[in-house]
A and B are shown apart, each in its own frame.
Chain A
Amino acid sequence: AQSVTQPDIHITVSEGASLELRCNYSYGATPYLFWYVQSPGQGLQLLLKYFSGDTLVQGIKGFEAEFKRSQSSFNLRKPSVHWSDAAEYFCAVAHTGGFKTIFGAGTRLFVKA
């Protein structure tokens, strides 16, 4: 069965430091991959997506992610974190079995001054 794993429940980084959030998926074919961000009390907003082509994709707010087929990973990165990046981040895989997207459990990011 398809699944998405985000190994880190929460991460704390200092403002200005780099960030990497991990995502691993289990899927038989080439997946459609997404990263979403959820600020407190809000719905999810798309950060970036990968369908095909260049395995390094750029998103909004200075985020990028790299698709590594050999590792079944789609990790999210940002070179310098801002306090406003504090939020919960969800990795997701589109399910070609029929109109379904599978979400990971999320990683909550805390940013310290």
Chain B
Amino acid sequence: NAGVTQTPKFRVLKTGQSMTLLCAQDMNHEYMYWYRQDPGMGLRLIHYSVGEGTTAKGEVPDGYNVSRLKKQNFLLGLESAAPSQTSVYFCASSYEGSGGAYNEQFFGPGTRLTVL
């Protein structure tokens, strides 16, 4: 199993450009998440999904959109990139089970995005 994969690994954008980050998981997990990681701030939740076709806002959703058309994929879009969106983006997934939505999360390797 590949686990959680993210595409691309690195990307440089100019201000105002758009892009989509792809996350895929092969563990049949119900829940998927997008985080951004900035120095000294830990991980902050951007958007999340509790199932195919559903999405919800997290802590820092402004400037981002998401879609979950298929259970295994969770896409993060930047409509008009800004320098403040320079960050490392992580996708994660988790599963139903005894802990329900509070089971541990499985993380992808991250995408390093720079917006000039």
Are A and B bound to each other?
Answer: yes
Interface residues of A, Cβ cutoff 8 Å to B: 4, 9, 32, 34, 36, 41-46, 49, 51, 90, 94, 96, 98-101, 103-106
Q: List 16 A-B contacts (CB under 8 A).
A: A4-B42, A34-B104, A42-B110, A43-B4, A43-B92, A43-B107, A44-B105, A46-B105, A51-B98, A96-B102, A98-B56, A100-B58, A101-B102, A101-B105, A104-B42, A105-B41
Question: Is B109 in contact with A49, judged by CB distance below 8 angstroms?
Answer: no
B residues sitting closer than 8 Å to A (CB atoms) are: 4, 31, 40-45, 48, 50, 56, 58-59, 90, 92, 98-99, 101-102, 104-110
- Cα of A103 to Cα of B50 in the assembled complex, Å: 19
Q: How many inter-chain residue pairs (CB < 8 Å) link A and B?
A: 60
Contact indicator A105/B42 (Cβ below 8 Å): yes
Contacts of A105 on B, CB cut-off 8 Å? 40-42
The interface residues of chain B lying within 8 Å CB-to-CB of A106 are 40, 42
> Of B44, B50, B102, B107, which one neighbours A45 at CB under 8 angstroms?
B107
Most buried by A among B44, B101, B104, B107: B104
